């Protein structure tokens, strides 16, 4: 199995002015709709527009990986009609947008537990991933029925299956190739819209040294300028990865 890009706890990654990998919790759709006296699902519908805008903006800025949390492993707890609307929306998006993504040299990946999805959705996901597999412009990852704990557990399971004879403990770097995002560097910047300041079981392993950014802006209202503000905040951070500030100026100043 290919080696992961880097592990922030094993070595110090290169820092670039534009984050290589941005991971976003797209939150606040329901409240956006409620403020406008509309049903919650209208917020989800409008949220798709923001997704389009973010993909375009990231592609233009040279972000290499954009990872969006679309549906968590805990979102099944929502009312059945909202869950089914979200699944339909996901299928429609795949139908309508994949050709456009492909034209724009975007590689699509979907992470999460697919076992609860309808067969048709699973087929659509596989077809979209296959079609765009060799694109190099931007890797767009949609986290659907994803949970950070699920991810660590499935990786651990796969790793132990691959080494049934193993009696000694596994190391960190042996697990990372089995995690859902093994193909990407760890996120540089995490953004959560909608005002909550929590991780909600998103990329638990990968966020170890990610810069966190929280904004009250609701996802349907998040735009290019809001993204730029998040990146500007990121650019002011000092990413120490455990070292002292003095060491940074000598060894590897922030780019
Ligand atoms: C995020 O918006 C979208 C999903 C979780 C699918 P919400 O639906 O959580 O919106 P709020 O947080 O209720 O406003
Ligand atoms: C997190 O949002 C999940 C997604 C955006 C897909 P939630 O709205 O589900 O998170 P909580 O429940 O407020 O933590
Ligand atoms: Mg929410």
Query: Which residues does residue 22 pair with via DSSP β-bridges, in sequence order?
Result: 66, 189
Residue at 167 is within a domain: yes
Measured in Å, residue 69 CA sits from the centre of ligand 2 at 9
Helices 80-103, 119-132: crossing angle, 10 deg rounding: 20
pLDDT in tens, the chain (255 residues): 445 567 888 888 888 899 999 999 999 999 999 999 999 999 999 999 999 999 999 999 999 999 999 999 999 999 999 999 999 999 999 999 999 999 999 999 999 999 999 999 999 999 999 999 999 999 999 999 999 999 999 999 999 999 999 999 999 999 999 999 999 999 999 999 999 999 999 999 999 999 999 999 999 999 999 999 999 999 999 999 999 999 988 755 554
Residue 184: other Cβ atoms inside 10 A: 23
Residue at 18 is within a domain: no
Which residue, 24, 151, 30, is CA-closest to 86? 30
pLDDT score at 253: 52
Residue at 248 is within a domain: no
Q: Is 187 strand, coil or helix?
A: coil
pLDDT score at 249: 80
Q: Is 234 exposed, middle or buried (0-12, 13-18, 19+ CB in 10 A)?
A: buried
Residue at 145 is within a domain: yes
Domain count, the chain: 1
Residue at 247 is within a domain: no
Whole-angstrom distance, CA of residue 94 vs CA of residue 1? 29
Whole-angstrom distance, CA of residue 147 vs CA of residue 176? 16
Whole-angstrom distance, CA of residue 209 vs CA of residue 206? 8
Residue 21: other Cβ atoms inside 10 A: 23
What are the counts of helices (DSSP H) followed by strands (DSSP E) for the chain? 8, 6
Q: Mention every residue, 6+ apart, whose C-beta is less than 8 A from residue 196.
A: 27, 214
Structure tokens at 54: 């973010």
Measured in Å, residue 145 CA sits from the centre of ligand 1 at 14
Residue at 111 is within a domain: yes
- Which of the residues 14, 29, 75, 151 is marked catalytic? 75
pLDDT score at 210: 98
* Ligand 1 pocket, mutate which of 24, 25, 26, 28 (most atoms under 8 A from CB): 28
Tell me the residue range of the domain where 184 lies: 25-237
What CATH number is given to the structural domain containing 152?
Answer: 3.40.1180.10
> For 74-125, what is each residue's pLDDT tens digit?
999 999 999 999 999 999 999 999 999 999 999 999 999 999 999 999 999 9
| 27, 192 contact by CB (below 8 A) | yes
Q: Which ligand is closest in space to the CA of residue 218?
A: 1
Measured in Å, residue 1 CA sits from the centre of ligand 2 at 33
Residue at 9 is within a domain: no
Measured in Å, residue 216 CA sits from the centre of ligand 2 at 14
Q: Which atom of ligand 1 is least distant from the CA of 72?
A: 5
Q: Which atom of ligand 2 is least distant from the CA of 74?
A: 9
pLDDT score at 99: 97
Residues within 6 Å of ligand 1 by CB:
26-31, 71, 75, 86, 194
Residue at 2 is within a domain: no
pLDDT score at 1: 44
135 is catalytic: no
Q: Which ligand is closest in space to the CA of residue 28?
A: 1
Which residue, 211, 154, 222, is CA-closest to 186? 211
Report the nearest-CA residue for atom 14 of ligand 2.
Answer: 200
CB of 69 closer than 6 A to ligand 2? yes
134 is catalytic: no
């Amino acid at each position: 199995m290919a080696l992961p890009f880097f592990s922030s706890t094993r070595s110090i990654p290169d820092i670039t002015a534009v984050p290589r990998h941005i991971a976003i919790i797209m939150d606040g759709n329901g409240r956006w709709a409620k403020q406008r006296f509309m049903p919650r699902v209208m917020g989800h519908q409008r949220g798709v527009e923001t997704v389009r805008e973010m993909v375009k903006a990231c592609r233009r800025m040279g972000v290499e990986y954009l990872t969006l949390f679309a549906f968590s492993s805990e979102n099944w707890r929502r009312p059945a009609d909202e869950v089914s609307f979200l699944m339909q929306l996901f299928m429609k998006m795949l139908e309508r947008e994949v050709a456009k993504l492909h034209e724009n040299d975007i590689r699509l990946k979907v992470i999460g537990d697919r076992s609860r999805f309808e067969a048709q959705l699973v087929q659509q996901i596989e077809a979209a991933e296959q079609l765009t597999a060799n694109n190099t412009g931007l890797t767009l990852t949609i986290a659907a029925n994803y949970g950070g704990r699920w991810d660590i557990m499935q990786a651990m399971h796969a790793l132990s299956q691959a080494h049934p004879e193993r009696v000694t403990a596994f190391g960190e770097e042996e697990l990372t190739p089995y995690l859902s995002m093994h193909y990407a560097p760890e996120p540089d910047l995490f953004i959560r819209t909608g005002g909550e300041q929590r991780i909600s079981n998103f990329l638990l392993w990968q966020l170890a040294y990610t810069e966190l950014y929280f904004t009250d802006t609701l996802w349907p209202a998040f735009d290019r300028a809001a993204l730029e503000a998040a990146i500007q905040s990121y650019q002011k951070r000092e990413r120490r990865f455990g070292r002292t500030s003095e060491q940074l100026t000598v060894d590897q100043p922030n780019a």
